[in-house]
Amino acid sequence: MTSFVVEADGGSRGNPGPAGYGAVVKDASDGQVLAEIAEAIGTQTNNVAEYRGLIAGLRSLLAIAGDGAAVEVRMDSKLVIEQMAGRWKIKNEGLRPLASEAAGLARRLRVTWRWIPREKNKDADRLANEAMDAAAKGRPWRLAGASPAAPAPAPASAGPAASGVSSGPAAGSAPAGPAAPGGPAAGFRETASRETGSVPAAPATVQDSLLDLIGEEETVAPAPYGPANGTDPETTAATGSGVGTGWRPPTTVATSLLMLRHGETPFSAERRFSGVGDPELTSAGIAQAEAAAARLSRPPYGIQVVVSSPLKRARATAEIVAAMLGLEVEVEEGLREVDFGDWEGHTFTEIQRRWPDELAAWLADPSAAPPGGESFEVAARRVQTTGDRLVERYEGRTVLAVSHVTPIKMLLRFALEAPPSALYRMHLDLAALSLIEYYADGPAVVKAFNDTSHLR
């Protein structure tokens, strides 16, 4: 299993004074830099800046490698290392929220904590000073040599301080790249990112959101939702003159599209790109499908139609649910995953090393396709056509569509009328449910997203 190194540092010119942090994510096997993050954070103490650097480094690693990754965290702050390792108490009340946040991120990884002398933490120290220098000049931090013209999408958690995002060769993938909750929060450059399974295009922290390799993030279980009936609190507060907007009762019956991502496969478990290749569900994936089936067979869902991508992992998930509902599965070709071409079955790091130029182009441009594969631009047209056809064909009914990360995110993006970069700001777990309701007299309404309460 690939292991990683996170080096983090922070500093304050005055303690407290103008402060900033830096963090670097490296491949432990060869020291290759996968991501660099830096941010100026206003007037803070050294310790606050050091914790902020740690948090940014852990977020960046999660965006690149996902939950369960093995990592050695190296810092020259004895205080932070000893507190995170549980050997020292946290006496400063102001540090406790930061320590708690860092500990929460660390619990999602397999972390070894290591103190190192300052001279061995030069990369993170340099980044922290670059961020403070940039802030002193009233500028956001950018990676040296990066062009300010086309920054990668900033993570949703990006802070208000002077920060910047610069994309280097082979910049992030999901998901990382974009700003999903929990993504890096500052000037961020991912030199390698991974996401395997589905995704739209965009640079930077793109990894975890993009590919078919994720199954992380705890979500708060929402109240049960089912076909629209005008009684949902979000749809009954009539205001203004709009119709079908979610703020007043719809005047027509909605077509409800429940979208279920397939269960785990060997590729998703190993965080490999999984497009039109046909891996089957693992035993865990079957259990996830069964949990979803148990939930969807109960009120208030009332599913009338089950459609599925033609790929085995989706078909198997759909058939488990359909069997419990007493329905047949209708195969819909347009719900298949994006074709990753020559990248199929490879990890993000492998792709970065073998196809660095092609990967950089793919992450930066939705019209760029992997070698022998399909671009997100082409996939978006296919998915939109498929979604329109399903809504027209099953008007007024409740449909379950079992598909993959990219098609589901694209359908959500279309419903929200969001730009392509929104794809990188969404995280979709294995066997997660999302819901869109379509009204003939108004726009589509997203009622649920990435709901995995049936898996807990």
Where in the sequence numbering do the catalytic residues fall?
Answer: 262, 337
CA atoms within 13 A on the CB side of 274: 30
Closest-CA residue to 435 (of 411, 453, 454): 411
CB proximity list for 298: less than 8 A, separation 6 or greater: none
Q: What is the DSSP letter of 304?
A: -
- What own/partner pairs with CB < 8 Å and gap ≥ 24 does 388-393 have? 389/334, 390/257, 390/307, 390/332, 391/255, 391/257, 391/438
Burial tier of 417 (Cβ tally within 10 Å: 0-12, 13-18, 19+): exposed
Alpha carbons 256 and 433: distance in angstroms, whole number: 13
Alpha carbons 2 and 4: distance in angstroms, whole number: 7
Closest-CA residue to 175 (of 421, 438, 439): 421
For residue 400, the surrounding DSSP H or E stretch is strand 398-403
C-alpha dist (Å) from residue 349 to 14, 64, 405: 40, 9, 20
Instruction: Looking at 300-395, list the stretches that DSSP marks H as alpha helix, in order from N- to C-terminal side.
Output: 312-325, 348-354, 356-364, 376-393
Q: Report which residue type is found at 134.
A: A
